[in-house]
């Protein structure tokens, strides 16, 4: 059984950096400046395994190493299997490429009309606005460009992306992503959101960001004002394990929701991180406590060097089955596989339907019992009655 979810069990405070003035600790610029980005930085605070040392030395050619002091505090430094540690400290597994793995696992390069825009679905686009993140997730789908360790040299041209959106009236939904859009300055975000708002056919703007999780200090009152001004803005954050739910994150989510930003969560199903029903249940309960609605649970994409982090998708199906009906419906994310090669997100669900015939749908409920919903034949649907008829019926 996983430790209970009451708030007193949530991480709080400055941990290893207790001596740093609160003003520095709470500054996002300080957090960025003091990120752990090298083997030596990590070894100052913890003993790495041989596997992790090898991974750290390799990282500069694959995906940079960076961990904010805030997020580093959430690692159990005495446990090589710590679920937070596995997400951000490189391992030797990153050096191996399995035959099914790819540099661009979901085929984004093939649906890129201009740099920075991925237009796969009819009515919405992904707008990549930076290649930088506050910390780097070792299983990142966009490792090919994020952090520029592979010399992709991503130079997002906001204007060409905006022009593409302006000239495509079918685009009603714009999803800012990257990298992490919230690493842009307030000035740039204000401009970008303002320009998007000016486009009459853009109905819906959302931001995909792990900043609230890696660098909650970035959620300042000034940033919230920008969201208020250009709202409605929706946000998808990325929390994978209950240990990432801290008082600081909860406070950041509260500020965002007070500014009118509804928040969803996108988790990635990761081996020995969250591929366990109890862990997932604790995570989604804590998300609801932070006013965050679990949105997607992703099967990990087939990015090169991720075999050691990818869970078996059959486990994902079983986890969803263990949740549905057993806990709050609001807390249950949609499990999806982003189809390799560019098919988009495909929902993967446990099967509750036993049989569909002309007479009935035969199904199983959450505890496995069978139920039958009979279908009504057209012949048994009464016609509308007109007023004089109704009077005779009612008399
Ligand atoms: C995930 C994604 C979207 C958004 O999909 P939703 O199901 O609407 O959240 C849009 N474009 C691309 C290319 C995506 O990968
Ligand atoms: S925050 Fe998102 S874009 Fe950045 S490294 Fe993690 S998964 Fe990749």
For 320-368, the pLDDT digits (tens) are 999 999 999 999 999 999 999 999 999 999 999 999 999 999 999 999 9
Determine the pLDDT at residue 35. 98
Residue 247 falls within a domain, yes or no? Answer: yes
Q: Assess whether 147 and 295 both reside in one domain.
A: yes
Same domain flag for 19 and 153: no
* 114 and 91 part of one domain: no
pLDDT tier for residue 102 given thresholds of 50, 70 and 90: very high
Q: Whole-angstrom Cα distance, residue 81 to residue 273?
A: 8
Interatomic CA distance for residues 221 and 227, integer angstroms: 10
Please indicate, yes or no, whether residues 12 and 158 belong to a single structural domain of this protein. Answer: no
What's the mean pLDDT in 260-283? 98
Pick the last residue of a domain from 48, 69, 95.
95
Domain shared by 161 and 287, yes or no: yes
Q: How confident is the model at residue 388 (pLDDT cuts 50, 70, 90)?
A: confident
Quick one: pLDDT at residue 1? 55
Q: Is the CB of 121 under 6 A from ligand 1?
A: yes
Domain match, 41 and 114 both: no
Q: Tell me the pLDDT tens digit for each residue of 129-185.
A: 999 999 999 999 999 999 999 999 998 789 999 999 999 999 999 999 999 999 999
Catalytic residue from among 62, 86, 91, 142: 142
Instruction: Based on the fold, state whether residues 126 and 86 are members of the same structural domain.
Output: no
pLDDT higher at 394 or 264: 264
The answer to whether residue 335 is domain-embedded is yes
E strands of the chain, at which residues? 117-121, 124-128, 173-177, 204-208, 233-237, 263-269, 292-299, 334-339, 344-347, 353-356, 360-364, 370-374
Least distant ligand from the CA of 133: 2
What are the CA-CA distances from residue 241 to residues 59, 135, 166, 273, 307 (Å)?
23, 16, 39, 7, 19
pLDDT at 2: 64
Token couple for 352 = 């509750």
Q: Which of 332, 347, 362 is the last residue of a domain?
A: 347
End-to-end CA distance of the chain: 65
Would you state the pLDDT for residue 158?
94
- CATH code of the domain covering residue 331: 3.20.20.70
Atom of ligand 2 nearest to the CA of 143: 8
Residues 80 and 27 in one domain: yes
- C-alpha 180 to ligand 2 mean position (Å): 7
Query: Do 119 and 153 reside in the same domain of the chain?
Result: yes
State the Cα angle at 168 between 166 and 173, rounded to 5°: 85
Among 95, 117, 133, the domain-final residue is 95
User: Which residues face 303 on adjacent strands?
Assistant: 102
The CA 210 to ligand 2 mean position distance, Å, reads 7
Q: Residue 59 is part of which domain span?
A: 7-95
Assess if residue 361 is contained within a domain: no
- 17 belongs to a structural domain: yes
What mean pLDDT comes out for the span 247-262? 98
User: Is there a single domain that holds both residue 198 and residue 267?
Assistant: yes
Distance 141 CA to ligand 2 centre (A): 8
Q: 241 and 338 share a domain?
A: yes
Residue 131 included in any domain? yes
- pLDDT over threshold 80, residue 38: yes
184-240 pLDDT, tens digit per residue, is 999 999 999 999 999 999 999 999 999 999 999 999 999 999 999 999 999 999 999
Radius of gyration of the chain from its Cα atoms, rounded to whole angstroms: 24
Same domain, 67 and 163: no
- Does 363 reside within a domain? no
Residue 359: count of CB within 10 angstroms of its CB: 11
How many folded domains does the chain comprise? 2
Q: Is 137 considered catalytic here?
A: yes
């Amino acid at each position: 059984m996983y430790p209970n979810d009451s708030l007193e069990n949530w991480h709080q405070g400055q941990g290893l950096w207790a001596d740093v003035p609160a003003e520095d600790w709470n500054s996002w610029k300080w957090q960025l400046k003091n990120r752990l980005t090298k083997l030596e930085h990590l070894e100052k605070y913890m003993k790495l395994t041989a596997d992790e040392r090898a991974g750290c030395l390799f990282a500069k050619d694959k995906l940079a190493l960076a961990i904010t002091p805030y997020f580093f505090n959430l690692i159990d430094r005495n446990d090589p299997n710590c679920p937070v540690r596995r997400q951000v400290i490189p391992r030797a597994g990153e050096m191996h490429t399995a035959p099914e793995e790819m540099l661009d696992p979901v085929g984004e390069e093939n649906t890129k009309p201009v740099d920075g825009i991925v237009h796969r679905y009819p009515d919405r686009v992904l707008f990549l606005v930076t290649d930088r993140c506050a910390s780097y997730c070792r299983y990142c789908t966009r490792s090919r460009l994020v952090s520029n360790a592979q010399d992709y040299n991503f130079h997002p041209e906001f204007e060409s992306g905006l022009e593409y959106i302006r000239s495509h009236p079918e685009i009603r939904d714009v999803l800012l992503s990257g990298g992490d859009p919230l690493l842009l300055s307030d000035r740039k975000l204000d401009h970008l959101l303002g320009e998007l708002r000016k486009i009459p056919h853009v109905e819906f703007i959302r931001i995909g960001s792990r900043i609230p999780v890696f660098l909650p200090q970035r959620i300042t009152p000034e940033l919230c004002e920008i969201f208020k001004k250009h709202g409605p803005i929706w946000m998808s954050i990325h929390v994978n394990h209950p240990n990432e739910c801290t008082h600081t994150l909860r406070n950041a989510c509260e500020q965002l929701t007070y500014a009118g930003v509804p928040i969803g969560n996108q988790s990635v199903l990761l081996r020995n991180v969250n591929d366990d029903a109890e862990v997932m249940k604790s995570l989604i309960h804590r998300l609801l406590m932070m006013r965050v609605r679990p949105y997607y649970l992703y099967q990990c994409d087939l990015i090169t060097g991720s075999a050691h982090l990818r869970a078996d998708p059959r486990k994902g199906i079983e986890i969803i089955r263990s949740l549905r009906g057993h806990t709050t419906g609001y807390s249950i994310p949609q499990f999806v596989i982003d189809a390799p090669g560019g098919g988009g997100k495909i929902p993967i669900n446990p099967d509750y339907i036993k049989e569909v015939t002309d007479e009935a749908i035969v199904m199983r409920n959450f505890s496995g019992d069978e139920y039958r919903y009979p279908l009504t034949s057209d012949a048994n649907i009464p016609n509308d009655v007109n007023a004089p008829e109704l009077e005779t019926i009612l008399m």
